[in-house]
Amino acid sequence: MPKLNPHNWDKPQKILVILAHPDDPEFFCGATLTKWAQAGHEITYCLLTCGDKGSSDPNISTDELCQRRHKEQENAAKIIGVKEVHFLDRPDGYLVPDMETRRLVTRVIRQFAPDILVTCDPTNLYPSESYPINHPDHRAAGQVVLDAVFPAAGSHLFFPELLEEGYQPHRPDEVWISVTNQANTVVDVTETWEIKINAILEHKSQVGDPEALIERMHKRGATEDSTEERPRYEEHFRVIRWRK
């Protein structure tokens, strides 16, 4: 697998993470985000839904779960070192990459004007044996973000009403695509893997057995040469660069 240098930035970067649900940033790339935050980069989350369908408890309402998951995400983001968390609160489980959602995401990209944009791979239908079918919201989120970043976010001819709102065209220098089987970039996150796990554990509504999750996470990101004495962990991305 070819490797690009993920840390060739010569100044602090503004990093915008756009994913579908609370807990997606931590599960998908939380160790890398932690590494960036520790290096002094500014990270903002934008979650397209609040995950209001993510429970099998028959006694919880979608409104109650939405509020709970807002708080869980804010707590997890603090552990990662994130500056801000924002929600679009689109209906969980019903996310589609339609034109209205593309306009909203284009607005977010122009509003925060990130140097680096992080999302997930819309083409990854079968992520792994342990996660055999990718959630449709994940695929929709990746698709709508990529459709928004190019060509809409950087062109004044797309969604001209955003210009009237004061949002000028903006295209990120790089897009980092997580949960992909077409990676071209590997980040060694051994030093921040435990922080990732601690952040995931803040999503208490999604964690039925904390000990089992910890064990699963220690296996999930481990490299082939990882040992109990010397554990090693990686996160993989497809990186698209426009920077010359």
What per-residue confidence (pLDDT) applies to 1? 46
Q: Rounded to the nearest 5°, which phi and psi values hold at 186?
A: -120, 130
What per-residue confidence (pLDDT) applies to 2? 46
> Would you say the pTM of this structure is higher than 0.75?
yes
| Domains of the chain, earliest start first | 14-241 (3.40.50.10320)
In angstroms, the CA 54 to CA 21 distance is 9
82-124 pLDDT, tens digit per residue, is 999 999 999 999 999 999 999 999 999 999 999 999 999 999 9
What per-residue confidence (pLDDT) applies to 3? 47
- The helix or strand, by DSSP H or E, that contains position 115, with its residue range, turns out to be none
- The helix or strand, by DSSP H or E, that contains position 17, with its residue range, turns out to be strand 14-19
In angstroms, the CA 187 to CA 179 distance is 13
Q: Is the dihedral of CA 107, 14, 193, 130 positive or negative?
A: positive
pLDDT along the chain (244 residues), means of 10: 60 97 98 97 97 89 95 98 97 96 98 98 88 92 98 97 97 97 95 97 94 91 86 95 72
What per-residue confidence (pLDDT) applies to 4? 46
Q: Are strands 234-241 and 116-120 parallel, antiparallel or unpaired?
A: unpaired
What per-residue confidence (pLDDT) applies to 6? 56
150, two tokens: 């190019």
What per-residue confidence (pLDDT) applies to 243? 61
